[in-house]
């Protein structure tokens, strides 16, 4: 590894190697599911020891950017339906069992971004967004009403999709090369009004859990804003703090 390889100096060598490898994920030199070169190949290419490459890859594996499999190789992490749902969907039943929802699309529109969408998606005032309105069921009962917003510029053809999958994150990755790797959720309690009262079959004023999620990609770019209102009489939002 020459001095010109990396302008951010004063970093340990393994951290520089990691930055370089992460950059190749960002610029899509390596795409989800693809196998990376072996540790020895990378070490030879970058002129560092195998141990240094290993430390970089181990950190990337800890951050779930890559998956390492003994005897097979190192692969770029990819989203499957189940992974994305289990990873980001945090509602559990009374026995702490994670539940996976079904989804029904209620409406789909392209419109000018509102103030929250501008702020969270990092777009300009006046930009357009695609908005998806969904009702989600757990154990067959309607529990969640949510509105999903994505920037039209980032994903031009979402509204033309014939059939939207239950987990949209696989679609973002497959059709637009956008991998949701991080998310921030801001949660509060709100009193139900229309349309939740009708859709969820509850009285006006019933307390609902509102989850506002901003999902971002590897390089910190906002991919999706999602505001979900959940009826939490039978379910809980569970978080583990460590």
Partner DNA sequence: GAGTGGTCTAGACCACAAT
Partner DNA sequence: TTGTGGTCTAGACCACTCT
Q: Report the interface residues with a second copy, using CB under 8 A.
A: 63-64, 87-88, 90, 92, 96, 181-191, 205-210, 212, 230, 232-233, 235-242
33 binds DNA (CB under 7 A): no
* Token pair in block for residue 37: 């070169």
Q: Which of 52, 179, 214, 217 binds DNA (CB under 7 A)?
A: 52
Q: Of 130 and 228, which has the nearer Cβ to a second copy?
A: 228
Report the partner that residue 207 touches, choosing among DNA, a second copy, none (CB closer than 5 to 8 A by kind).
a second copy
Binding-site member from 19, 20, 73, 206 for DNA (CB under 7 A): 73
Query: Does 50 sit near DNA (CB under 7 A)?
Result: yes
Give the residue from 44, 24, 43, 45 showing the smallest Cα distance to 34. 24
d(CA 166, CA 104): 8
String of b and e for 49-58 (b: at least 16 CB within 10 Å)? eeebbbbbbe
CA 224, chain centre distance (Å): 8
187 binds, among a second copy, DNA, none (CB under 5 to 8 A by kind): a second copy
30 binds DNA (CB under 7 A): no
2 phi and psi, to 5 degrees?
-85, 170
- Judged by CB, which is closer to DNA: 72, or 163? 72
Two tokens, residue 77:
């992490």
99 binds DNA (CB under 7 A): no
Which option in a second copy, DNA, none does residue 59 bind, with CB closer than 5 to 8 A by kind?
none
> Which phi and psi (to 5°) does residue 111 adopt?
-150, 170
242 binds, among DNA, a second copy, none (CB under 5 to 8 A by kind): a second copy
Q: What are all long-range contacts of 29-32, with beta carbons under 8 Å and residues at least 24 apart?
A: 30/76, 31/76, 31/177, 32/76, 32/77, 32/78, 32/79, 32/173, 32/179
Choose between 174 and 186: whose C-beta lies nearer to a second copy.
186
**Per-residue DSSP letter, 5:** G
- Cα 40 to Cα 28, 49, 204: the distances in Å are 22, 8, 63
DSSP state of 60: H
Minimum CB separation of residue 233 from a second copy in Å reads 8
Does 15 sit near DNA (CB under 7 A)?
A: yes
The residues with which 112 forms a beta bridge, in sequence order, are: 128
CB of 97 to DNA, least distance (A): 29
Binding residues for DNA, rule: CB under 7 A, are 12-15, 36, 38-41, 48-52, 54-55, 58, 68-74
């Amino acid at each position: 590894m020459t001095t010109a390889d990396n302008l951010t100096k004063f970093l340990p060598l393994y951290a520089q190697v990691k930055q370089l490898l992460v950059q190749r994920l960002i610029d899509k030199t390596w795409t989800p599911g693809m196998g990376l070169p072996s540790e020895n190949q990378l070490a030879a290419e970058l002129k560092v020891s195998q141990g240094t490459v290993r430390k970089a890859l181990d950190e990337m594996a800890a951050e779930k950017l890559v998956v390492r499999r003994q005897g097979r190789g190192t692969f770029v992490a990819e989203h499957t339906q189940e992974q994305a749902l289990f990873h980001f969907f945090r509602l559990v039943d009374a026995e702490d069992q994670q539940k996976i929802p079904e989804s029904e699309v209620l409406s789909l529109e392209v419109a000018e971004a509102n103030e929250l969408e501008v702020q969270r998606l990092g777009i300009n005032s006046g930009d357009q967004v695609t908005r998806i309105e969904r009702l989600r069921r757990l154990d067959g009962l309607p529990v969640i009403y949510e509105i999903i917003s994505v920037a039209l510029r980032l994903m031009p053809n979402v509204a033309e999709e014939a059939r939207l999958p239950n987990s949209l994150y696989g679609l973002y990755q497959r059709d637009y090369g956008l991998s949701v790797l991080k998310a921030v959720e801001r949660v509060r309690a709100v009193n139900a009004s229309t349309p939740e009262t009708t859709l969820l079959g509850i009285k006006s004023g019933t307390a609902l859990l509102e989850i506002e999620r901003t999902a971002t990609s590897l390089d910190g770019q906002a991919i999706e804003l999602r505001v979900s209102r959940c009826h939490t009489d039978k379910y809980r939002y569970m978080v583990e703090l460590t």
